[in-house]
Amino acid sequence: MIDNQLYKTIVIGTSAGGFKALKTIITELPQSFCLPIIIVQHLSPQSDGFMAQYFNQISHLQVKEADSGEPIRPNHVYIAPANYHLLIEKDETLSLTVDEKVNYARPSIDVMFESAAMTFQNRLVAIILTGANDDGTKGICTIKRLGGLTIAQSPETAEVGVMPKAAIEAGCVDLILGLEEIAKLLSTLCHRPKGSIQDQ
């Protein structure tokens, strides 16, 4: 049912408990993994990019905070900076805004997901992980409507089940999986031959 060659980008939204959940997924992904991952995790406005630096050190992937105007590159993980919304442009670059909060959040998952849906349509995989509110539900529904593959962390396994539960109850989720299963699935979506030249 899943066409492994189709997908170009993965987007992830999470809130409370997200740090640990993301850590599990990102460290499970092999060096050969080559799709870009774009993440919105609700953060306090004062956060200073520690998460990106830390994930960069402990994983095989290039993890960084998203910069305005930056092109989306394979094998890179982009994390939305605190206090900015992250959007994805049609030309597959990232842009940031300081627009009002959405669902009490900036960055908001809905904002990023909806722009990703318009750009990637059916070539997008969207994942909702642990969280205590329903930001992301609207976005994941748009992604599903435009043909993307949608996944929620199974609420029982989530530190806080509210966020994945909201997406599931809206009827917008294709697969409900645990963290390890999500990582395993993602690993099958893109493999480069071992020893091939890494992207920068």
Partner 1 sequence: MEKQEEINLLLQKQDLEIDLLLEVIFRQFGYDFRDYNKAHIRRRILHRIQTLDLKSISELQHKILHENGFIEMILRDLSINVTEMYRDPSFYLQLRKEVFPILKTYPFIKIWHAGCATGEEVYSFAIMLKEEGLYHRAQIYATDFNPLVLETARKGIYPVNRIKEYTQNYQNAGGSQSFSDYYIAKYDSVILDQSLNNNIVFAEHNLVSDSVFAEVHLIICRNVLIYFNKDLQNKVVKLFTESLIKGGFLGLGSKENLMFTDVYEKYQIVDARERIYKKKIQI
Q: Distance between CA 121 and CA 8 in Å, rounded?
A: 10
Query: Does the annotation mark 42 as catalytic?
Result: yes
Query: Which lies closer to partner 1 via its Cβ, residue 99 or residue 180?
Result: 99
Q: Does 97 bind partner 1 (CB under 8 A)?
A: yes
* Neighbouring C-alpha atoms within 13 Å toward the C-beta of 189: 23
Does the footprint of partner 1 cover residue 133 (CB under 8 A)?
A: no
Q: Which of 4, 53, 68, 196 binds partner 1 (CB under 8 A)?
A: 68
Residue 14 parent element (H or E): strand 9-14
- Of the candidate spans 22-30, 97-105, 125-133, 165-173, the one that interacts with partner 1 by CB under 8 A turns out to be 97-105
Q: Does 162 bind partner 1 (CB under 8 A)?
A: no
For partner 1, the closer CB: 97 or 196: 97
CB 36 within 8 A of CB 75: yes
Query: In the complex with partner 1, which residue's Cβ is closer, 195 or 200?
Result: 200
Rank residues 32 and 121 by Cβ distance to partner 1 and give the closer one: 121
Please return the burial class of 197, using the count of CB atoms within 10 Å of its CB with bins 0-12, 13-18 and 19+.
exposed
Among the listed ranges 16-24, 91-99, 171-179, 188-196, the one in contact with partner 1 (CB under 8 A) is 91-99
For the stretch 50-58, contacts whose Cβ atoms lie closer than 8 Å and that sit 24 or more positions apart, written own/partner, are 51/19, 51/22, 51/79, 52/77, 52/79, 55/22, 55/23, 55/26, 55/79, 58/23, 58/26, 58/27
In the numeric block, which tokens belong to residue 186? Answer: 């993602």
Based on the residue annotation, tell me whether 15 is a catalytic residue of this protein: yes
Positions annotated as catalytic residues are 15, 42, 135
The site for partner 1 (CB under 8 A) is made up of: 67-69, 81, 84, 87-90, 95-100, 111, 114-115, 118-119, 121-122, 146-147
